[in-house]
Structure formats: C-alpha cells, structure tokens
A and B are shown apart, each in its own frame.
Chain A
C-alpha cells in the first residue's frame, strides 16, 4: 500500500508540475502541497477554532471570574467558583443524580441492546420488523419523543390509566423521589437503545460461525458459547458503545428540562442540567463555567480511563 501512495503522485507531478531543479521559484512543490493541505482543512479548522476551541478557552477563563450578565461587569475571582461548587448544598444531590443516572443508563442500555441484538440475530420470521421497531426511536426528534413521554408519565397520564385498568395504582412517575430518576433513565434508554442494538447486531454478524460450531462440538452450551466466544469477539463494540453511552449520559439535558426540571428536590438534577441552571437561569456565568469545566474534566478522565483499560477487557483490536 505504501508503495502505491508514493509512486502515483510522483508520476503525475513528474509530467505536469514539478519545477526544474534549482529554478528558485517560491511556489515549490512542497509549498504548493502544504498550501493545498491547509486550504483543504481551513473551513473545518475555522469552525473548530470558532465553535470549539474558543468557547472552551472562554469557559475556563470565565470559571475564574464572576460575571454579571445584566451589568456586563466581569471580575477576577480566583478559585471562588470552584470552592462554591465544593460547598454548595446542592452538590451532593447533583453528584448522586449524575452517578445514578450514568450507571442506570449504561447498564440498562448496554444490557438491553445486547439482548435485543442477540434475539434479532436469530434466523426467525419478523426480525426485520422488530429491528425497525426498536431502531425507529433513534430517528425521532428528541424533544418530540420526550414531550410525548411527559404526557404518558403524568400522574393522570396514559401509563397510569393503563395500569388502573388492570387494577394497579401506578406511582407519580415524574414527582416521586425515586421514580423520577428511573423514569428519565427509561425514557432515555428507549430513545437510544436501537442505535447500540444495531452496532451489536453488526458485531454479532461478524462472529465466524466456524468458531461457534467448533465450541458446540467441544460440548459448550449456549451460555458458554456466548460468554467464551461471542462476548470476547464483540468486545471492541462493547467498548465503543460503553464509551459513547457514558459520554452521552453525562450530557443529557433536554429530557431533564422537559420531564422534571431537575426535581423533585434535585433528585434528577444531573451535572449538565445544574450547569445550565447556574449559567442561564441564575445568570451566574462564572459559577456555571466552573461546573462546565468540572463536567468536561470528568468526561475526559472517564474516557481516558476506559481507553487505558481497553487492553484488559477488549479481546482484540484491529
């Protein structure tokens, strides 16, 4: 492969644009290549600088300042915003909600996606219909999906009405101390499980049948074949879905805003929603920025840790 890459352009250049050796032209071939490269990446680079890097630096800057949006006055505050986060009475509740939401979402989402993928990987009639059914929420608008669930989960909403028909008094899903977080997790799981399911399905279809047949001949049962053959072979997909789901769980916002607004009593107030409240509800951009920096650091550390640990639990990497 390397040989082809090196020879093809050289052949073209030799016949078209290579300047005579020692001509002293400013636009040498190397410079032309460099300029072309920069021009190709310029649109993307400008977008990255303007909408990613600059805001990122600005957030870090603001996290060390107090900023009154209305008066427009910004003052240096040292580490006061970070200290405020440590001592804020809401911080334990926010941390608890964030951790529980993350664990609940990752465990249920990955387990359910894997289960659905295994079921849909069987050669049975109607699997295409179910595959479409489970994947369809992924392409539905997040806000429309959440608003619909908001109606269903009201105390006098659709779910409790159905439960009432069969003689069960359902809880007040979005107002209960424990049911609120569970409800938000379930809504999010149903929204995105289809995506992970498709990824697992693709991975399962890449597992060689010969290995499974060999294991079967060796006397391995269905569970043993899954645990010892399938699971290791799909471990790169498990790593990918876990990283993406954890990262997504720490960025959940619209569902919280529409369903619970962080309540009741901060039970569903995850870190990213807390950041929004501080920065945009309370107009405290300094404190909000400090929360955002902490959130960024958590996501970065978690991703790095998972990446470092991948060799221990990913069977192979291509």
Chain B
C-alpha cells in the first residue's frame, strides 16, 4: 500500500510540475487577452514617484475613453542596465509595447526595424499638431522622413552651482555674474572649481554620471573646443583631432594639476552639497526640490570655439515585436499630444515649438527663473547638439572607455592615448 501511495504521490507531483511548466510556457507575461482587453506596458528608467504619478494619471485619463485598454503599466528598469535589460526582453520574446530609448541607442533602434513607424498615427491623431515637433528634436529619431520614436525629453546640459559653497570658497564672481559679463569661459569655470576644492573640504566640479567610465558625458566639455567623438557621418574618428587634444589636455590638467575635478575613484554628489559645480541635464533639477543650499544654473561655459550647448535626448518608441502595436501607438499619440506634453514639461523639456516659450516652461518649472529657462533650456535646445550616438553604440562605448582608461592618471600622454582611442574604434566605426 505504501509503495502504491508513494507512486500515486509522485505521479501527482509530476503532473503538477508538467502543468506548471505548460502554464508558464503558455503565458507571455503581459496578461493581455484579445484586442478587447489589452494590457499595455512601457519600459521607463525613471522611478521618481511624482513622475510615475503623472504617467499613471495620463494613462487613467486615456483608459476612460478607451475601454479596450484594460491596463497601462510603466515598467521601471534602472538606467545603468536599461538597454541591456530591454534588449534581453526583446531577445526573450517578451518585448514591451512601448519603450524609452536613450539617444545613444537611437541609431541602432531606428535602423534595425525594432521600432514601428509612428508618423501615420501621430499625423492622424485629432489635434496632435505633428508639425509642431521641432526638426532638431526629431532628427535623431527619423529614417527616410518617417518618425520612429517621439522625443519626449530634449534636455539641455547646464552648469549647476552651489552659491553657498562658492561664497565659502571666496569666489568673487558667481557663474551668473560671469555669464552676464561675457566671461563665462571654461578657464574661469575651472579656476572657480579649483578654488572651491582648495578652500573648502568639498570637491570643485563634478561631471555627473561620468565617473571616468561614461565618457560621452564629456561632450559638454570638448564641444567648447569644437571637438567631437566622430564626424557627422560617423565614419571618421575625432578623438585624435587637435581640438580634442587641447580639450582633453585642459581636462587632464584640471583633474591632476589643479584638482578642480574629483580624481578617479573619488565620489562627490553636487545635489548632496558635496561639490561647488556640476554639469548635468536640467531635468536633474528635481533633485534640488529639498535642497539644503542656495543654487543657480547657467549654460555650459564657452571654449576656444565659443559657446557650445549639449542636449541629452530620450524617445518613446512602439516595439515592432509588441503584441498591440496599434493600441500602443494610439496611446503614445495621446501621451505626447499638446496637452499632455505641457504636463510632462515639468520634468522633460518638450519637443514642441509652441511650448518652448519662457511663459509655458515657467508654469511647468517653478524652480527656475525665466532668465535661467531662457538661457539654459530655450537657447540650449535651439543652439545645442545632441550627445554623440552611433550604430553599434554599446560596442563603441566599451572600446572608447577601455582605450581612454590610461589617460586617467597623473603624467599620462594625452595625445598618445587619444590616438589609441581612434585605433581602437576605427574598425567599429567603419562597420
């Protein structure tokens, strides 16, 4: 009897495991049924509660008029591994319906066919005003004149400064005063940062998110010298150009001679009051909501090539392999229409010409003065250029990071390292 019971138990366990595996295999994880009960999912890299609340409120409003959409989820993936996680989902046949895409990945996503053409849906959407989207903002996301992602955030880089810390360091003229006097140059910014580092126990200038790895963040520096990572067609390396050599020599001296920037392996967070200045996107200003110090923001300083502003971008695309492409595109048209774009402008500078006015932005961004919005956001978007991007961007980014590593030590041969970068990435650029 005991043997028989044991066998029956094992049979039941095996049947249960088979059933569980079958159910797991059948489920696609989206929980979506037919087209009448659609569940949409958008991957995002923001988990800011106020931003998530805004997304959810827009989604809730949309569902009131679209009963076929049962739910809309905003699936948070940390920015550090965002693209890796997204591509893994795609490879695992579990793509989201919509995804945020970083500017550096735009060429790969747009050219590969991973995103669907949004143009027909956006043009047909009632009151969408498709032509209001600025050509500068949509350029990166277009192929053959068709738009493959909506550039929901066009966020210029600016220089935030801690007024209290500058005063403590004995800085005579703050960045806004230097800007007004047309003396807001990289040399003066570097002197100011070195002064903070020398006269306080805090750091001078932090290039946020660089950390001696994400080199693309340095574009804000080298473009002041007229340098860039590669040519406009992406085929010629720009790291060994004389302009880049001068810009990197300036940066190297600022780090290792003047100690104006924290060295490799040293951490400092401007928003926690640990540095005098930081270069970052204006959308990071939400971190100053409960700021313990007086602060300001100015555009990036001028270099030998004049003032050169840099923009970070993010787009939202509808995945070709998604289960509900049309419903996703319809929701995206609603999510990015003029009314919702105004709401989103509180966090993400809009891509609409009509909304790039001081009055509109001031309503959405009470933290900034009209002058700051004009100088950094409006002028930045009009005159700035997007961070470098390329097909095969992740591979090139790894190659550049490795090749640049020897530079981040005292006494490094800057020109030789930069030549090495070009040697390392030349095959990948020509692929």
Contacts and interface: CB of A to CB of B under 8 A. Distances in A.
A281 B84 contact: yes
B17 A172 contact: no
Interface in A17-61: 17, 32, 35-36, 39-40, 42-43, 46, 50
Given A46-B17, A89-B424, A263-B402, A284 B213 contact: no
Interface string A246-265: 00000000000000011111
A263 B213 contact: yes
Interface in B1-42: 1, 3-4, 6-7, 10-11, 13-14, 17-18, 21
A12 B2 CA distance: 10
Contact of B402 (A42, A174, A265, A285): A265
A218 B421 CA distance: 67
Nearest to A160: B265
A70 B401 contact: no
Contacts of B4: 16-17
A120 B403 CA distance: 47
Nearest to A262: B402
Contacts of B109: 70
Contact of B112 (A71, A263, A280): A71
Interface size class of B (residues with CB under 8 A): 35 or more
Given A261-B213, A264-B408, A72 B321 contact: yes
Nearest to B115: A70
Interface in A204-234: none
Contacts of A72: 90, 321
Interface string A56-81: 00000000000011111000000000
Nearest to B321: A72
Interface string B92-131: 0000000000000000110011100000000000000000
Interface residues of A, number: 41
A81 to B, nearest CB: 14
A266 interface: yes
Nearest to A257: B81
Interface string B263-275: 1111100000000
A138 to B, nearest CB: 27
B273 to A, nearest CB: 16
B84 A174 contact: no
B13 A156 contact: no
Nearest to A71: B112
B226 interface: no
B114 A71 contact: yes
A264 B321 CA distance: 38
A68 B112 contact: yes
Contact of A46 (B21, B108, B401): B21
Given A89-B424, A263-B213, A283-B87, A156 B266 contact: yes
A16 B5 CA distance: 13
A285 B88 CA distance: 10
Contact of A277 (B7, B398, B405): B398
A286 to B, nearest CB: 12
Given A154-B267, A283-B394, A50 B113 contact: no
Given A39-B14, A46-B21, A263-B213, A70 B114 contact: yes
B284 interface: no
B265 A156 contact: yes
Contacts of B265: 153-157, 172-175
Contacts of B263: 155, 172
A172 B18 contact: no
A36 B13 CA distance: 12
Nearest to B406: A265
Contacts of B363: none
Contacts of A302: none
A297 interface: no
A153 B109 CA distance: 37
B264 A284 contact: no
A281 B13 contact: no
Contacts of A285: 91
A17 B424 contact: no
A10 interface: no
Contacts of B212: 175
Contacts of B21: 46, 50
A280 B84 contact: yes
Interface string B407-429: 01100000000000000100000
Interface of A: 12, 16-17, 32, 35-36, 39-40, 42-43, 46, 50, 68-72, 89-90, 153-157, 172-175, 261-266, 277, 280-285
22 contacts: A32-B7, A39-B11, A40-B10, A42-B17, A43-B13, A43-B17, A46-B18, A69-B87, A70-B90, A71-B112, A155-B266, A172-B263, A264-B405, A265-B402, A265-B405, A280-B84, A280-B87, A281-B398, A282-B392, A282-B394, A282-B395, A282-B398
